[in-house]
Amino acid sequence: MNKSYPFDPSLKHHLAIAFGLAVWIFVFLYFTEPLDVHEFRAQEKLIYLPFYGLTGAISYIITLPFQRWLLHRNNGKWSLRNELFFFLVFIGIALVVTRSVYLYIIVWGEPNPYTLSYFIFDIYAPAILTILPIVLAGRWAFGKYKQKKLEDKKIEIPGDGTYEGLRLLFIDLIAIKADDNYIEVSYLENKTLKKQLIRNRLSVVTLAFPELLQTHRSYSINPYHFQQWKTENSKLFIILPFDIKVPVSKTFTSEVKSRVNSATK
């Protein structure tokens, strides 16, 4: 249940899913005429059926704040369990909204509306089973597309020979420290500091990625993560997230100050 699940947090894409849902509900009801829809005249279909399409879209949009809260609660991670929680809440909200539209718009003032149990099991349940695959497919497709875009943007810090390397977004890379025949890479993963030893040389990696800034013979940083300067015993340091302190040697001071000032403007 905690297995990672494709997810795209883009509001624009979720609004697109809501719009597609509204269109699908209208088209499905108009042409298949389930339940009592066949009793509507063509003009009445065009008047009343869009309300059901709008109901689906509104229910989905209302559920999005819960989705955002769920994503924040799980530190930006999205799992199969989160997806199931989202759909349970969506189904509940859609039931309330759909029932309200039925009572206060479709049959307002009419005697003997459908009972709640009949409405749930004979009308709402079959409808939601038809709707859910469309929403599931749309969310999954946008999630996979988001994953592919992120994967394409990642850089790879290779390990020498058969040694393991590291793939990550450059923006998540904080700093690299030389450690004998290895380098220690400090980076972000779901807003948490991670470190990994890779068999490689600092000079090779710094040369491969010109965006890196070498501050010392044993250190290179991502200027994006610069926080402040610090001087101790006449020695200059750069402070990075998680209180990472990186020395700046006199050899690199001029270039470092120029690049940092340019990156933080």
Q: Report pLDDT digits (tens) over 55-76.
A: 999 999 999 999 999 999 988 8
80 within some domain: yes
Whether residues 30 and 161 share a domain: the answer is: no
Q: What is the mean pLDDT of residues 106-120?
A: 87
Q: What's the domain range around 133?
A: 11-153
6 within some domain: no
Q: Is 176 exposed, middle or buried (0-12, 13-18, 19+ CB in 10 A)?
A: buried
pLDDT at 57: 95
2 within some domain: no
Q: Which of 100, 126, 153 is the last residue of a domain?
A: 153
247 within some domain: yes
What value, to the nearest 5°, has the Cα angle with vertex 170 and ends 194 and 229? 75
Looking at residue 227, which CATH number applies to its domain? 2.40.50.1020
Whether residues 130 and 16 share a domain: the answer is: yes
Whether residues 219 and 115 share a domain: the answer is: no
Query: pLDDT tier at 36 (50, 70, 90 boundaries)?
Result: low
pLDDT at 102: 84
Q: When comparing pLDDT for 106 and 145, which is higher?
A: 145
Q: Which of 89, 119, 153 is the last residue of a domain?
A: 153
Whether residues 81 and 15 share a domain: the answer is: yes
88 within some domain: yes
- pLDDT for 116-128, tens place per residue? 999 999 888 988 8
Q: Which of 105, 133, 153 is the last residue of a domain?
A: 153
Is the pLDDT score of 201 beyond 90? yes
4 within some domain: no
Whether residues 39 and 117 share a domain: the answer is: yes
Q: Any long-range contacts for 56-59 (C-beta under 8 Å, 24+ apart)?
A: 56/18, 56/21, 56/22, 56/24, 56/25, 56/94, 56/131, 57/18, 57/19, 57/21, 57/22, 58/18, 58/97, 59/90, 59/93, 59/94, 59/97, 59/98
104 within some domain: yes
The domain total for the chain is: 2
Whether residues 38 and 94 share a domain: the answer is: yes
Whether residues 107 and 161 share a domain: the answer is: no
How far is the C-alpha of 144 from the C-alpha of 153, rounded, in Å?
14
- pLDDT for 149-185, tens place per residue? 999 999 999 998 777 899 999 999 999 999 888 999 9
Query: pLDDT tier at 39 (50, 70, 90 boundaries)?
Result: low
Whether residues 57 and 181 share a domain: the answer is: no
3-class SS letters over 157-168: ECCCCCCCCEEE
